[in-house]
């Protein structure tokens, strides 16, 4: 698996790529000049339940085009990470990371035209034994 993925199953990752929740209430534009960077899964209690593949962007790499007022915030444990989801359809769109608060992780499944099930070799990060919990 490469660290920067420029296409998924023949579908290109655009330098500015749109992402939406299921119902379309939330629309986000992501700055992805290097494609999908730092693809990962996590096994923390939250990520195990949502099952999403996440990729990374700097905080300035997300522009909420529509539906900001419909995004709900969820925090738990150390309250460092900020998980956002659509209050209408419930889809997780992105989160500000606990492991690197200067980054957002975003739900690859929300990317327009991208099927995350076509991405192989995604590493799983150990969120159960996170250093911030020690």
Tens-place pLDDT, residues 27-58: 999 999 999 999 999 888 888 899 899 999 99
Cα distance between residue 95 and residue 77, in whole Å: 15
Domain edges within the chain: 13-120
Q: Domain 13-120: which topology?
A: 2.170.150
At a CB cut-off of 8 Å and minimum separation 6, what does 1 contact?
Answer: 39, 120, 121, 122, 123
Q: How confident is the model at residue 108 (pLDDT cuts 50, 70, 90)?
A: very high
**pTM score, two decimals?**
0.89
């Amino acid at each position: 698996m490469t660290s920067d993925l420029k296409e998924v199953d023949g579908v290109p990752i655009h330098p500015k790529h749109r992402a939406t929740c299921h119902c379309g209430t939330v629309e986000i534009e992501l700055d992805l000049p290097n494609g999908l960077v730092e693809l990962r899964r996590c096994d923390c209690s939250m990520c195990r339940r949502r099952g999403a593949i996440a990729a990374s962007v700097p905080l300035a790499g997300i522009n909420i085009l529509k539906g900001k007022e419909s995004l709900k915030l969820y925090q738990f444990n150390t309250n460092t990470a900020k998980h956002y989801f659509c209050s209408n359809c419930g889809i997780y769109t992105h989160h500000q990371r606990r492991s690197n608060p200067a980054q957002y992780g975003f739900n690859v499944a929300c990317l327009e035209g991208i099927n995350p099930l076509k991405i192989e070799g995604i590493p799983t990060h150990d969120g159960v034994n996170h250093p911030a919990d020690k």
